[in-house]
Structure 1
Amino acid sequence: MLATPVRLARGPPGFPSFWRRSMDEFKRQATIAINMEGLREPTKPFPLIKFDQENSMAKCKVMSDQDMGGFSKASLTYIPGAAHHERNPEKEDAQKGGIIESDEGVEPAHTLFKGSISTELPPNKPDIQRSGYAAWRTRDRGMSLFGKLLWDIDPYSYLALRIKSDGRKYFVNIQTESIVPTDLHQHLLPTYTTGQWETVIIPFSQFVRTNYGFVVEPQKEMMRQKVRSVGIGLTDRVPGPFELRIADIYATNRPPAREMGREEAGFDLEEENHEGGTGMMDEIEPKRRKGEPERILI
C-alpha cells in the first residue's frame, strides 16, 4: 500500500499526526540546543516506551510463531495502576542517571505480556522444523519534516526496564537503522526477584549483535544514534504459559547496582555452527551459511 499524503498526515496507530510529530521533534531538538545537552552527560531518564496509558498498547506490535502457522499465543493487555514519575538524582547522589518510579506499595500502570508457548509444528509446512516463540516490539514512529523518526540514545550508557517477571528466559531486543535490516542487538533480560517489581539495568555495551537468532561476527557497536525499536521476546522453546509485566523501558546513565559481564548476555560467543534444520524465521530469509558473506540490503 502506498503512503498517501492523507496516511502520512494521520500517522501510525497510537502516534500523533505528521505535523504534530514534526512540531514535537522540532521542540526536542530546540531544547537540546538551548540547554546545550550535547555538551554534558544527561541526568534525566529518556523514555522509549511507558505503559502508563491505555493508548500505549497501539504503539506496540505482538508477534509469535502463529504468524507462520505455529500454535504459540501472545498478547499485550493494559493494566491500570499508579502513575509513573521521573526522578532525577540529587546533587549528593553519586549515581548520575535518573530513574522512573511509582508510589511505593502501589502497583504501577503497566502492560501484561501473556500467552503460551507451543513447539508443535504446523502440519502443512514440512520445511519448518522448529517453532515456539513469542515477542513484542515498539512500532516504527513514522515520518516528520525532519525525516524518519528514530531514537538517539547515544548520550546514554544503559537501558533500564521496570518489570515483574515469572522467571522465564526472555531476551531484550533493540533494532537500529542498520545497513543489515535483519540485525538485532540482544541481551538476556536479567531478573533477581521473580514475582516482584524490580528495575533491571543493562549496559548498551553488553548487547550482542545477532541475525535470525545467531551471533554475527564481527560484533559491531550498536548504532545508538538511530534506534528504530525496542522489545522483548521469549525463545526458550519451553512449552507452557508465560507472563511478564512491563511498566516502562528507558535509557539512563544510572549504572546497575551490580556489574554485568558479557557472559551474562545469554549467548555463547564462541563460533557457532549454522548448519542444520530450519526454524520459523528461516522462511522469511534463509540463515547465512558458515563462511558466507553478509547479505547487505540497501
Structure 2
Amino acid sequence: MSYGKAFTAALGRSLEVVRDGAASVMRLEVNPGTATKKPIHLFSIKSQKDLDGFATGSDKDIGGLSDVKLGVDEGHGRFFGTLSNQLPRNAPIQRTGYAGMRTRNRPTLFGAQTWDTSLHSYLALRVRNSLFATSPRPPAPPSPLSQIDASPGDRSSLNSGRSESFSSLTPQQRARAALGHGMDEPLGPKFFANIQTDGPVTSDLFQHRIWLDPAAGDEWQTIVIPFDRFLMLNTGTLADSQIKMMRQAVRTVGISCILEAPRPPGPDANAAPAEKSDVNGAPSALRGGGASITQAAEAAEAAPREGEDDWGRDGTIRPSDQPDASPLRGIKRGQSFRFDLGLMGAKAVGSVEEALELEW
C-alpha cells in the first residue's frame, strides 16, 4: 500500500473515531458502546480485497520451512499451508512448525483504532477443517470444555465451557483446558485464537485453543470462546501473573497454527527450559538457541520493506514452490503436515445462543 493510500485510510478511520465519540456524547453514554449489545463485526473474508486487512507470518520468515497462505475460495477465507519441523542446518532456531494470520493494525490520527468488546462475553468464529479426513484425530476436549452452554443436541459451540467452572480450576488446569498444555496429543496442526489489546506491553497476547469438534468433520462450525477464558502469554510464554484482558481496546484478532501444543507452565522435571518466541505472539513452538526469536529474525532479515506491518511480513499470499517436497540436503530430518482452515469471519457476541443464530 502506498503512503498516500495508507494516509487516506488512516484519515478515514480517524473520522470514524470522531463520529463514534460524538455519537456517544449525544447519547450521554458513560462508555462508548453502551447503547447497544449487537454483535461486533471483527473481520470477515469474502473477497480478494478483504485480504488487504490481514498480515501473515510463519517460521519461514526466520529460516524455517513452514509455509502459509491466506486466500479466498468460493466466497470465504482460506488459511492454509504446510507446517514443517524440519531444521535447516544453519538456521538460528531449534524448533519450527508455526504459521499465523491476524488483522492488521488500524492506525488513526489519535492512535490505533480498536474494538470495544467490554459488553460482549464471547468471541465467535465460523470455521471448517477442510482436511479433517486426513488430519490426526484430536482427543476429546478436557473438562470443562465438555460442559456446553448450548442445547445438548448442538455441538457447534465446543469451546463455550461455563466460566464459573473455568474459574474454579487451578492455573495448571486452566492452561490445559484453554491451551492444551501438557496434553498427550499426536503431532499435527493445532489452531489457536489470538487477541492483542492496546495495552502498555505490546508483547502481551491473549490466546485460547480452537477446539474443533470432530463430530463436525469438514463441515462449517461455529466456535464460541468466552473472552475471560483467554490466557495471557508474553513473548510466547504463559505469563506467571495473569491479568484480565483489556476488552475495551482490542487491537488485533487472529489465528495461529502450530505442530506441538505449548508445554505445561511451572516446574516440570520432564520439560525443557522455558521457551520464548517473537514479541508479537508466536507460540512457544519456536525458539532460538540462547537468543529470542526477535533477535534471530533481526539477524536473518534485512530492514523492513515499505508497507510492511509490525507482525509477519506483508500479508500477501506467499508462493510455495514445493510444499510437499522431501527434505532438502543439509536439513535435519523432520515431518511436514498440511493445514487448511476455512474461515468466514469473527464477531464479538453477548451469548452462545446469539452466536449460533448469526448470519455469516
**TM, length-normalised to structure 2:** 0.56
Equivalence for 2:203: 182
**Aligned residue in 1 for 2:12:** 20
Partner residue of 1:76?
70
Change (3 A) 1:124 1:141: same
Change (3 A) 1:36 1:78: farther
Asked if structure 2 preserves the Cα contact closer than 8 Å seen for 1:41 and 1:155, the reply is: no
How far the C-alpha of 1:181 sits from its partner, in A, is 1.5
Name the structure with the higher helix share.
2
Residue 9 of structure 2 is aligned to residue 30 of structure 1: no
CA deviations on 1:94-124 (whole Å, 9 max, x unpaired) are xxxxxxxxxxxxxxx3210110111011222
Residue 95 of structure 2: aligned partner: 130
Q: Distance in 2 between matches of 1:52 and 1:123?
A: 40
SS at match of 1:24: helix
Q: How does 1:219-258 map to 2 (within 5 A)?
A: 219-237=242-260, 239-255=336-352
Find the counterpart in structure 1 of residue 47 from structure 2. 53
Quote the sequence identity (%).
Answer: 33
Matched residue count: 219
For the pair 1:164 / 2:187, whether they are aligned, the reply is: no
Partner residue of 1:64?
Answer: 58
Distance between the aligned counterparts of 2:52 and 2:247, measured in 1?
Answer: 24
Larger relative strand fraction = 1
Name the aligned partner's letter for residue 10 of structure 1: K
Shift, 1:210, TM fit: 0.9
Can you give the 5+ residue segments of structure 1 that lack an aligned partner in the other structure?
A: 1-5, 81-108, 259-298
User: 1:160/1:35 Cα in 2 relative to 1: closer, same or farther (>3 Å)?
Assistant: farther
| CA distance in structure 1 between the partners assigned to 2:352 and 2:42 by the alignment | 18
Greater relative contact order structure (CA < 8 Å, 6+ sep):
2
For the Cα contact (< 8 Å) 2:37–2:119, is it kept in 1? no
Query: Which residue number in structure 2 is paired with residue 97 of structure 1?
Result: none
Alignment partner, residue 279 of structure 1: none
CA RMSD of aligned residues (A): 2.4
Q: Secondary structure at the match of 1:29?
A: helix
Seen in structure 2, the aligned counterparts of structure 1 residues 40 and 177 have a Cα distance that, compared at 3 Å, is closer
Give distance in 1, aligned partners of 2:15 and 2:23.
Answer: 12
Deviation at 1:66, TM superposition (A): 0.2
- What is the letter of the counterpart of residue 222 of structure 1? M
SS at match of 1:71: coil
Q: Separation in 1 of the partners of 2:344 and 2:104? A: 17
**Partner Cα separation in structure 1 for residue 127 and residue 18 of structure 2:** 32
Separation in 2 of the partners of 1:27 and 1:35? 12
Residues 1:73 and 1:33: Cα distance change in structure 2 (over 3 Å)? same
User: Partners in 2 of 1:234 and 1:36 — Cα distance?
Assistant: 43
- Contact 2:42/2:348, CA 8 A, preserved across alignment: yes
Aligned to 1:261: none
Q: CA deviation at 1:40?
A: 4.7
Answer yes or no: is 1:114 the counterpart of 2:80. Answer: yes
Q: Match for 1:11: what amino acid? A: A
